[in-house]
Amino acid sequence: MDVLTVSVVLLWLAVLVLGVMLWALSRQVGVLFERVAPMGALVTDAGPAVGEPSPSFQLRGIQSEAVAIGGPSERATLVFFLSPTCPVCKKLLPVLKSLQRDEGQRLAVVLASDGEAAEHLKFVRDQQLEAMPYVLSTELGMGYRVSRLPYGVLLDARGVVVAKGLVNNREQLDSLLNAHDMKTPSIQQFLGGDASAQSA
């Protein structure tokens, strides 16, 4: 009986120790989650501010399609600035294709760059981007003050800039759409950070 009693006591002590360890671990996970909260697109101060109307552009895509950016439209517009030589841009292309396919009723995706048309036409064919308008316009990049790639600007149907920023991964690209859906300029501001302090 003495051995059995000691065994039971030791088992209960082990359960209590494990319970305390589990509680401490859960607290540490909570602290870690706060430190690595989701990082949205890196918002810059350059170009039209969030909440301001976008400049209007009447452009022609490299496949001879007419492309209007800014001003009232039937859908929101995501202008995604990229380059054929940008490896991060290429990694995000499947996400953009998915957006075009799944959100096409409420979101237009426009690809934007500058340079020689021949290089970009080859890029469009190689990456199978024919379903998305693709414009080459230095004026467009200057209008939004794009200095790094890949960069996204989301306009609502009124032509107002609702989210923008440097996007290096799918989460940051999604954050532009989430910021629009949550009616907040950026995920950082939604989480209590200062969006104006974020810089590319």
Let me know if residue 48 belongs to a domain: no
The predicted pLDDT at position 38 comes to 47
In angstroms, rounded to a whole number, what is the distance separating the alpha carbons of residues 16 and 174? 43
Shared domain check, 82 and 23: no
Shared domain check, 83 and 28: no
The predicted pLDDT at position 183 comes to 66
Shared domain check, 163 and 97: yes
Q: What's phi and psi for 166, nearest 5 deg? A: -75, 130
The predicted pLDDT at position 178 comes to 84
Assess contact for 110 and 75: CB atoms under 8 A. Answer: no
- 37: amino acid identity, one letter: A
Q: Is 33 helix (H, G, I), strand (E, B) or coil?
A: helix
Within the chain, which residues score under 70 in pLDDT? 1, 31-45, 183-200
The predicted pLDDT at position 146 comes to 93
Shared domain check, 150 and 186: yes
Q: How many domains does the chain have?
A: 2
The predicted pLDDT at position 77 comes to 96
Tell the burial category of 80 from Cβ atoms under 10 Å away from its Cβ (0-12, 13-18, 19+).
buried
The predicted pLDDT at position 31 comes to 66
Shared domain check, 29 and 65: no
The predicted pLDDT at position 185 comes to 55
**Residues spanned by the domain of 137:** 57-197
The predicted pLDDT at position 44 comes to 62
Let me know if residue 50 belongs to a domain: no
